[in-house]
Structure 1
């Protein structure tokens, strides 16, 4: 995620959340903020689980960003 606007949108989104948060809440909030479509794709790919912190979400986004055997469209 080297695009500064993308990074700013993700940072703004994660700062608006009340944790813990479920993926559907995260996606709903991102849609409310008119988030970049590529970021929405990444958020929709998050595992269905409760996230207790922004660090946990960032960790999972990093994993999505580098799955072996998958085309990496986010770098």
Structure 2
């Protein structure tokens, strides 16, 4: 199934080419992050279709738009 994925800030290099990728049905957010070769400690927020999704066991659906954000620092 096809999903859209956008990684932001320091994780931007992990965004799939073209901003989309195929995953098997039942893929969780946690598995997606592994597939993108992102260390889980580098992820602060994950949005699914514009809503914060804190449950890493959430199963992704066809056409979902995923946004992955690192911790943000500043001052």
TM-score by length of 2: 0.38
**Which structure features the higher share of helix residues?**
1
| Greater strand fraction, Structure 1 or Structure 2 | 2
Structure with the greater relative contact order (CA < 8 A, sep ≥ 6): 1 or 2? 2
